[in-house]
Amino acid sequence: MDVLTDVLNSLHIQGALYFEVEAGQPWVLVNPPMNSIGSYMLPDVEHVIPFHIMLSGEGWAKSVSDSSPPVKLETGDVVMFPMGTSHSLTSNIDSWEGQPVDTSFYQQTAAKKQPFTAVKLGEDGTRSYLVCGYIGFNAKPLNTVLNTLPNMLVVKDHINTDGLMKQLLLSTLQEMRKSNERAKSIVTKLTELIFTLALRQHMESHSDLDKQSWLSAIQDPCIGKALVLIHQAPFNKWTLAALANKCAMSRSSLAKRFNLYVGQAPMQYINSWRMHLASRLLTDGMSILQVTEHVGYSSESAFQKSFKRYVGCTAGEWRTKYNKAS
């Protein structure tokens, strides 16, 4: 059981790859926050993450809302902004001033039938080529992955070191230029792969991950095992004692260590994950009664009470809003 893959699969990730950018030095690209343009790019999701792939050339990137220093981008690098914050890319680390792109441009771009738009910016200096895209998913009720990520996530040499990724990206760009429906499904698959591999590389290359981090938790031998057990059988009648016994730990040790890494008590995490899975089933069209039985509740009223406590709305309200068949 790969816990990270299990969580990512449950998010129903969607992808949009809209811009192929040719930038001539000096150039500055100022991007608005996703709460102002995300609904244009991916209207059916709650949370949108912008990302940029440096196909060739170099530049610098920083999050406007973050005091962290800028990061250099080189050929093959991918930069993501998981919180959807406003951010800038530039060819010169000492030059960040630029006019943000008007939101109407994104609205018009998203309304086109073509799955991409070619953009030129900057002057006549050395060229850099980027692909700019968007990752979308419904983050509620469990923001497990999202909450563990920084404002800006850079994966070095991501495209160059992964032959499959590079080939998929080139194939996607070729399909996009044909402006056909097939390109949209390829874009979604490519985006899922980019997001998954970026998270894995981030996880593997950061041995000093924050201790209160879900990505750290799945690497810990004890808590990682507990998470595997939970995700293998989420609707099992777990108790703290049963989970601790499977992990060869005392109840108090498991509870303390689990809370340190995950930020939740084990039983709270289990209930949150169950409600997350329940929300996915409702989104996919299952009735409330069917979901109640599937997740192991003895009555619909008990399920409804738990669902509202963890998700923030009733199961009926969620189903009405997100049911694909509606």
| 10 shares its domain with 130 | yes
Residue 326 has pLDDT above 70, yes or no: no
| 109 shares its domain with 220 | no
- Going by pLDDT thresholds of 50, 70 and 90, the confidence category of residue 325 is very low
| 175 shares its domain with 287 | no
Instruction: Match 């209207």 to its residue by tokens.
Output: 43
Classify residue 298 by its DSSP letter. S
Determine the angle formed by the axes of helices 221-232 and 251-262, rounding to 10 degrees.
Answer: 90
Pick the last residue of a domain from 205, 229, 264. Answer: 205
Residue 291 and residue 281 in contact, taking contact as beta carbons nearer than 8 Å: yes
Residue 33 and residue 84 in contact, taking contact as beta carbons nearer than 8 Å: yes
Residue 107 and residue 38 in contact, taking contact as beta carbons nearer than 8 Å: no
Residue 208 has pLDDT above 60, yes or no: no
Report percent pLDDT > 70 for the chain: 85
The separation between CA 116 and the C-alpha centre of its own chain, rounded to angstroms, equals: 21
Confidence (pTM): 0.79
| 292 shares its domain with 160 | no
Euclidean distance between CA atoms 149 and 18, whole angstroms: 24
Residue 38 has pLDDT above 60, yes or no: yes
Residue 27 has pLDDT above 80, yes or no: yes
- Going by pLDDT thresholds of 50, 70 and 90, the confidence category of residue 100 is confident
Highest average pLDDT, of 58-62, 108-112, 169-173, comes from 58-62
Q: For residue 164, what pLDDT is reported?
A: 66
| 18 shares its domain with 105 | yes
Euclidean distance between CA atoms 220 and 208, whole angstroms: 12
Q: Which of 206, 274, 288 is nearest to 236 (CA)?
A: 274
Q: For residue 290, what pLDDT is reported?
A: 95
| 185 shares its domain with 51 | yes
- Going by pLDDT thresholds of 50, 70 and 90, the confidence category of residue 177 is low
Classify residue 116 by its DSSP letter. -
- Going by pLDDT thresholds of 50, 70 and 90, the confidence category of residue 307 is very high
Residue 304 has pLDDT above 90, yes or no: yes
Residue 197 and residue 162 in contact, taking contact as beta carbons nearer than 8 Å: yes
| 194 shares its domain with 307 | no
What CATH number is associated with residue 105? 2.60.120.10
Q: Which of 95, 80, 44 is nearest to 198 (CA)?
A: 80
Instruction: Match 């800028």 to its residue by tokens.
Output: 70
Euclidean distance between CA atoms 315 and 280, whole angstroms: 11
Residue 59 has pLDDT above 70, yes or no: yes
Query: Coil, strand, or helix at residue 48?
Result: strand
Give the Cβ contact number of residue 45 at 10 Å.
22
| Structural domain harbouring 191 | 3-205
Euclidean distance between CA atoms 69 and 58, whole angstroms: 17
Q: For residue 179, what pLDDT is reported?
A: 60
Indicate whether 210 belongs to any domain. Answer: no
Residue 8 has pLDDT above 80, yes or no: no
What CATH number is associated with residue 259? 1.10.10.60
Backbone angles phi, psi at 134, to 5 degrees: -140, 140
| 89 shares its domain with 185 | yes
| 76 shares its domain with 116 | yes
Q: For residue 183, what pLDDT is reported?
A: 67
**Tally of domains within the chain:** 2
Q: What is the mean pLDDT of residues 295-311?
A: 92
> What six digits make up the tokens of 231?
């995700």
Q: What is the mean pLDDT of residues 213-227?
A: 87
Residue of 275 and 17 predicted with greater confidence: 275
| 171 shares its domain with 292 | no
Highest average pLDDT, of 47-56, 144-153, 175-184, 199-208, comes from 47-56
Look at the chain and count its residues.
326
Handedness of CA 18, 186, 77, 25 (dihedral sign): negative
- The whole-chain average pLDDT of the chain stands at 84
Opening angle at CA 43, ends 323 and 153, nearest 5: 110
Instruction: Match 């041995």 to its residue by tokens.
Output: 207
Residue 36 and residue 50 in contact, taking contact as beta carbons nearer than 8 Å: no
Residue 33 has pLDDT above 80, yes or no: yes
Buried/exposed 98-136: b ≥16 CB within 10 Å, e otherwise: eeebeeeebeebbeeeebbbebeebeeeeebebbbbbbb
Q: Which of 43, 22, 19, 42 is nearest to 31 (CA)?
A: 19
Q: What is the mean pLDDT of residues 75-95?
A: 92
- Going by pLDDT thresholds of 50, 70 and 90, the confidence category of residue 182 is low
